[in-house]
Amino acid sequence: MQELEGLQEVKDELNQMRWSIDELRDTQEELDRRANVIEHQRLESLEYDLREAREEFSELPSELTKVKAALRRLVDRVASLEQNVQAASGAEPANLDVVDKTISTLAARTAKGREAQAALRTDTARTSMDYRIKYYQSLYGEYQGHLDQAMEHSKTLIKTNAGEAAHTKAAADFQTVLQQINKLAEQLGRLRPEYETAQRDLAADNARRATHGPAMMTGDAAYAKLHSLMRQRVALALNQRALLPVWFTTALGHPPPAQTDQWMYVAAEVLCFRISYNVTDLVVALGDPPAPARRARYAWYRELSNLIGKLESAA
């Protein structure tokens, strides 16, 4: 009887422990649920803040562009006002586009030299052609070497009898060399059109360089002199506070203190371009965009447009 009572007490304790465990499990699940809700709310808040931050940052480039454009308009307006004040005060106009015999000769030689340079292949193109030629010749040299080996193995096969060690080795070596010969012959056949084209193009470019070399050298020297004179012309106009033409201030404005040297270089380049190609537009510094077919002028135009754009971005 006492044993039964003891068992009942144990059962009661076990049941009580089960209930306690169930309560703990329920409590744990409730805590986990609350933690998930809190974590979800926190993540949603973070995601919202992140979206807002991204939206704000995404608008920054556009806002900066607007600010730069507004500053550019302000700078142009100030330049226009300065010109009006200078004109009203009787300032002398800067004759930046004036051309005398010396300038005309230098400009013509500069343009001719650039045209000659544009007709030539670039150093990168020449390096590529030279590589294709040398690579083909290298493969052809290997091909000839394997042919010579095949001939030697053939001689050995003729001089020896089947079954002899030398004959067996020569036969195996001949088969190996023959495979290499066939592989190289296929590769050479595939590369031959490129090789022949590269040879013709490089020879033609060498002939053009021999023909146009003097014009290029004369053009380089003329350009260096012309650029120096145009830089002096701009410096003199600024020093005399002369009234600068509209095309000049529209494209270049006034020299920024931090980039005076680069600004002067671009200003002189623009003048060289205008005089070399007889650009007389009173508003647009470089005139109308040239056709790509006019390779020398087109390349110089693009280069100057990029340089002017960089000055505007840094302003």
pLDDT tens for residues 103-115? 999 999 999 999 8
Q: Into how many domains does the chain fold?
A: 2
pLDDT tens profile 25-74: 766 676 667 666 666 666 666 666 667 666 665 655 566 556 555 545 55
Same domain, 39 and 96: no
| Buried b or exposed e, range 71-100, using 16+ CB within 10 angstroms | eeeebeeebeebbeebeeeebeebebbeee
Which of 9, 34, 65 finishes a domain?
Answer: 65
Same domain, 20 and 101: no
Same domain, 309 and 177: yes
To the nearest whole percent, how much of the chain has pLDDT over 90? Answer: 42
Same domain, 51 and 165: no
Same domain, 285 and 195: yes
As a whole number, mean pLDDT of residues 126-144 equals 94
- Is the distance from CB of 235 to CB of 264 less than 8 angstroms? yes
Answer yes or no: is 231 within a domain. Answer: yes
Same domain, 24 and 144: no
- Residue-number span of the structural domain to which 52 is assigned: 1-65
- The pLDDT score that the predictor gives to residue 146 is 93
- The pLDDT score that the predictor gives to residue 98 is 87
- The pLDDT score that the predictor gives to residue 300 is 94
What rounded mean pLDDT belongs to the chain?
81
Same domain, 31 and 164: no
- Is the distance from CB of 310 to CB of 252 less than 8 angstroms? no
Same domain, 153 and 52: no
Say whether pLDDT at 263 is over 70. yes
Answer yes or no: is 59 within a domain. Answer: yes
pLDDT tens profile 228-247: 999 999 999 888 888 888 89
Same domain, 31 and 179: no
Say whether pLDDT at 248 is over 60. yes
How far apart CA 276 and CA 299 sit, in angstroms, is 14
- Is the distance from CB of 221 to CB of 277 less than 8 angstroms? no
Same domain, 148 and 242: yes
